[in-house]
Amino acid sequence: MARLNKVLPAAMVRRVGAGVFDQILASASNFVTTVVAARYLDRNAFGAFALAIVAYTMNLLIARALCSEAILVRPGSTEAERSRRAAATVGDAIWVGVVLGVGYVIASFFLDQTVRGSLLALGLLTPGLLAQDTMRYVSFAQGRPASAVVNDGFWLVAQGLVLGGLLAIDQFGPARLVMGWGLMGIAAGLLQMRLDRLVPHLRPGFGWIRSNRDLSVRYLADMISGQGASLIASYVLAGVAGVAAVGALRGALTLFGPVNVVLLGSTMVLVPEGRRIAERSTARLQAMCMGAGAVFAGLAAVVTVVFLLTPDSLGTKVLGGTWSGAQSVMLPVGVASMAGGVVAGALAGLRSIAAADALLKTRLVTTPAALVFPIGGALVAGAGGLAVGLAISVWWNVIWFWRAFRGALRGWSPAAEAMPNGSTS
């Protein structure tokens, strides 16, 4: 126990717990809104809402890669420096939102009326929504997770009131739903800015991204390669085995949502914590990442066993007609989720020491496997084959990402990693 406390001190465990709790709140806001939308909107209207949510999710991934992930390892060493870097990070997230938002607004005029309203609303709200999410990262970078919890907690409560109000006045359309949901998110971000006394720095535009381009460009390429491989595999499965097969796989993946919540929430804390630990001892950083990977994999194993033993009657209540298909691929998806947990430990370590080069080089080896194994499996045996191929490809990732992390750790020192040109903006 004493050894564990040295690797994972109680204060760090509390911060990780706060990160997981915050991620639960953030996910709950989107989950509750989506469930209510599915319940009260017709199929076309819900499709328009879902399209906006998918676009929002992609927005977050882009902004995090370009802005938020760098602040986790480069928060600043003094209070004044931390304030400047935080303001620059949020300011650039707003500019990223402006660029993306303009694209959505323009695209909305070329789409049918049902989709147009929800995408137009998202385009107008995107700068504020990306600022809200970036504020969460700033909180964890500066070791103040309580601010992020207030941010997401406010959004969840406010969103509940908005949903109730829309239902009460019978004005429940996809555009109004996106607008109400997004405005409450922006209000939550503004509340955190007020509490943290942070004013986004908007000039010069994209200054933070330029100062951290050694990380931001590579993180963006890493995100695109990982997401692109998954998207291509899904389309191949739809073409080979039909849309129902994609639904079966998506249903199984949905059941592992709690694992993803824990993983995402923990990673936001583990990266800045890992940075601080690495400055004292790289051996302790490796131990922390190994311990985190083991915990994530163990959680995935427990979830897998629970759902494998779930009676069909209960499973059908959760996923409806999708349950039988999801159950048929549950074991390989669970094995893949376990591997993903182990990989997450290595990824936290690579990001803690800002080893973006090693991360991107590893993607060059792992991305082909992420395409070949799942697509080959889909061609041979449909959804089941794709799930088995997915499990093989993620365990392949385990080998390469841990190899990359250990290699990067051997050549790393605190003095070797600094912002280019010593910039703090």
Interval 259-277: pLDDT, tens: 888 888 888 889 988 988 9
Residue 1 lies in a domain: no
| pLDDT for the residue numbered 10 | 65
pLDDT higher at 244 or 395 = 395
Q: What tens digit of pLDDT does each residue of 86-105 get?
A: 999 999 999 999 999 999 99
Q: Contact 282/28 with Cβ under 8 angstroms?
A: no
What average pLDDT score do residues 366-384 get? 89
Q: Contact 130/178 with Cβ under 8 angstroms?
A: no
**pLDDT greater than 70 at residue 7:** no
Q: Are residues 343 and 410 in the same domain?
A: yes
User: Which residue, of 178, 194, 211, is where some domain finishes?
Assistant: 211
**pLDDT greater than 70 at residue 243:** no
| pLDDT for the residue numbered 413 | 75
Q: Are residues 377 and 253 in the same domain?
A: yes
Residue 242 lies in a domain: yes
* Least confident window among 6-15, 58-67, 189-198, 314-323: 6-15
Q: Quote the number of domains for the chain.
A: 2
For the ranges 60-64, 111-115, 278-282, the maximum mean pLDDT occurs at: 60-64
Q: Are residues 234 and 327 in the same domain?
A: yes
| pLDDT for the residue numbered 418 | 55
Dihedral sign from CA coordinates of 41, 44, 47, 51: negative
Containing H/E element for 358?
Answer: helix 356-410
pLDDT higher at 68 or 205 = 68
Residue 3 lies in a domain: no
Q: Return the percentage of the chain with pLDDT > 90, whole number.
A: 49
Residue position matching structure tokens 């040109």: 421
Cα 108 from Cα 103, distance rounded (Å): 9
Q: Are residues 30 and 172 in the same domain?
A: yes
Q: What tens digit of pLDDT does each residue of 160-208 get?
A: 999 889 888 877 788 999 999 999 999 999 999 999 999 999 988 899 9
User: Which residue, of 211, 226, 249, is where some domain finishes?
Assistant: 211
pLDDT higher at 171 or 26 = 26
Q: Are residues 255 and 270 in the same domain?
A: yes
| Residue 2's pLDDT band (cuts 50, 70, 90) | very low
User: b/e map of 344-359 (b: 16 or more CB within 10 Å)?
Assistant: bbbbbbbbbbbbbebb
Structural domain boundaries, residue 355: 213-422
Global pTM exceeds 0.85: no
| pLDDT for the residue numbered 126 | 97
Q: Are residues 203 and 241 in the same domain?
A: no
| Residue 4's pLDDT band (cuts 50, 70, 90) | very low
| pLDDT for the residue numbered 415 | 61
User: Which residue, of 160, 188, 211, is where some domain finishes?
Assistant: 211
Amino acid at the residue 258: P
Q: Are residues 179 and 219 in the same domain?
A: no
Residue 15 lies in a domain: yes
Considering the chain, what is the average pLDDT of its residues? 87
| pLDDT for the residue numbered 225 | 84
Q: Are residues 92 and 223 in the same domain?
A: no
